[in-house]
């Protein structure tokens, strides 16, 4: 039997050198494909029997044998053999030892090239589904936390400088928006992996009358690939999935950064249960946000996975090349890194406690309602740029007086513009200032409640 990916056969004298075996083998990482390899092989065997290419009793023996081999390999009752290079040859070898020639008929009409392409697509689709579920779980935790803090306030920041007051719920719901986009991108990447390449052979399909559509439907694909050369060498679906994962990890990194800030003694906006923190080996007073930092740090790792895969692909000629074996580890690493990060991020959000008195204290200092002064004057007919200048002058006056804007006497306001009257003090109340921003996407209470309800309704349909 031909083994297109460099496996030894009677064509070759002797075996690979020991160091060559180490580099050539992929079983140390592609064992993850075991359930997908078995599923693909069972679908292929059933199709071969349906088409009259192999006896139906052989197909039945192959199916039962494969299920037994899968169970025993997964349980550690059978050993992986690095000399057999990969998951595919290990499974086939154990199967043939178990059921004899029936097992040797399994590879009829396929190559390891289209086999691994199929396995990787099945892996990508299943992992994308799991990641989507974990994203929804984190979103649910964020939305639930936001629902508890609709009436609490937090400084909104630009340039890490206090800018304008917002509801704490509005800030938390911003991450829901990021994760919703991440969900969509991963869903799209899953869809792009929806064509089955099995039947493409090594590069030029096969002379056997395969029913490719039957296999695709049995494996849950949306259809089949339409060019055998492209099908065996395509890893675009992996590039797209890793790219979506990398951006999601970047969003988690931003969340991790904010947790680090909020938990710091400088901010003191929140506390986190010790199950998600670590101590110092030398300073007993320390409670370090190590898990938030690790999530932040892992963004570089996943971005590196994407760069690795793009670099592997960039110079390859058409069809299969052994370089493509290097596409697997970045995919596995990216998936597993994001999976772990999503679980930890969800746990941290579920255990996060805000010091709302502290966040309100931060809102009430730093002249965060200065924009309200300008907006007030605009409502009286003054052009915004003039209003902005007057508001800036009043901030300077408040700084000189050592007080907040709301503590200035009306005379100070009127010294800058006769348009001011007592109504300005209502404009400077934080809750009023926030709730005047009553537009779609704004932080007003009614808008936040509507967004929370919208997210809860959507998640109720998705999270099981």
Give the residue numbers marked as catalytic.
Answer: 159, 280
Q: For every residue of the chain, which 3-state class applies, written as one string?
A: CCCCCCCCCCCCCCCCCHHHHHHHCCHHHHHHHHHHHHHHHHHHHHHHHHCCCCCHHHHHHHHHHHHHHHHHHHHCCCCCCHHHCCHHHHHHHHHHHHHCHHHHCCCCCCCHHHHHHHHHHHHHHHHHHHHHHHHHHHHHHHHHHHHHCCCCEEEEEECCEEEEEEEHHHHHHHHHHHHHHHHHHHHHHHHHCCEECCCCCCCCCCCCCCCHHHHHHHCCCCEECCCHHHHHHCCHHHHHHHHHHHHHHHHHHHHHHHHHHHHCCCCCCEEECHHHCECCCCCCCCCECHHHHHHHHHHHHHHHHHHHHHHHHCCCCCCCCHHHHHHHHHHHHHHHHHHHHHHHHHHHHHCEEECHHHHHHHHCCCCCCHHHHHHHHHHCCCCHHHHHHHHHHHHHHHHHHCCCHHHCCHHHHHHHCCCCCCCHHHHCCHHHHHHCCCCCCCCCHHHHHHHHHHHHHHHHHHCC
């Amino acid at each position: 039997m031909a083994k297109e990916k460099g496996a030894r056969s009677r064509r070759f004298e002797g075996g690979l050198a020991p160091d060559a075996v180490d580099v050539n083998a992929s079983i140390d990482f592609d064992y993850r494909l075991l359930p997908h390899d078995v599923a693909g092989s069972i679908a292929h065997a059933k199709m071969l029997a349906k088409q009259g290419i192999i006896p139906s009793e052989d197909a039945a023996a192959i199916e039962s044998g494969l299920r037994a081999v899968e169970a025993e390999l997964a349980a550690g009752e059978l050993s992986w053999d690095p000399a057999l290079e990969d998951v595919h040859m290990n499974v086939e070898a154990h199967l043939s030892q178990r059921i004899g020639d029936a097992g040797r008929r399994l590879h009829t009409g396929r190559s390891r090239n289209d086999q691994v392409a199929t396995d990787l697509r099945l892996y990508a689709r299943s992992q994308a589904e799991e990641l989507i579920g974990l994203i929804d779980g984190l979103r649910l935790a964020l939305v639930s936390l936001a629902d508890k803090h609709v009436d609490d306030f937090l400084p909104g920041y630009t340039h890490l400088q206090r800018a304008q007051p917002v509801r704490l719920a509005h800030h938390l719901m911003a991450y829901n928006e990021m994760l919703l986009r991440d969900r969509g991108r991963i869903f799209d990447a899953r869809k792009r992996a929806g064509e089955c390449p099995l039947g493409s052979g090594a590069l030029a399909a096969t002379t056997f009358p395969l029913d490719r559509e039957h296999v695709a439907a049995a494996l849950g694909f949306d259809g089949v690939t339409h060019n055998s050369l492209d099908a065996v060498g395509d890893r675009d679906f992996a590039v797209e999935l890793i790219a979506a994962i990398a951006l999601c990890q970047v969003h988690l990194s931003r969340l991790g950064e904010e947790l680090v800030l909020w938990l710091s003694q400088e901010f003191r906006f929140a506390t986190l249960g010790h199950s998600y923190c670590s101590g110092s080996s030398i300073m007993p007073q320390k409670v370090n946000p190590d898990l938030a930092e690790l999530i932040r740090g892992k963004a570089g790792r996943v971005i590196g996975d994407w760069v690795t895969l793009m670099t592997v692909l960039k110079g390859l000629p058409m069809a299969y090349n052994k370089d493509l074996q290097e596409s697997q580890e970045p995919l596995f690493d990216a998936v597993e890194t994001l999976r772990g990060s999503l679980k930890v991020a969800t746990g941290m959000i579920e255990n996060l406690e805000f010091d709302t008195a502290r966040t309100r204290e931060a809102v009430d200092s730093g002249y965060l309602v200065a924009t309200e002064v300008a907006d007030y004057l605009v409502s009286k007919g003054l052009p915004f740029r003039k209003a902005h200048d007057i508001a800036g002058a009043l901030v300077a006056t408040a700084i000189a007086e050592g007080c907040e804007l709301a503590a200035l006497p009306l005379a100070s306001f009127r010294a800058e513009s006769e348009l001011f009257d007592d109504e300005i003090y209502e404009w400077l109340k934080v809750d009023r200032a926030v709730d005047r921003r009553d537009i779609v996407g704004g932080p007003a209470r009614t808008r936040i409640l509507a967004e929370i309800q919208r997210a809860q309704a959507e998640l109720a349909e998705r999270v099981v």
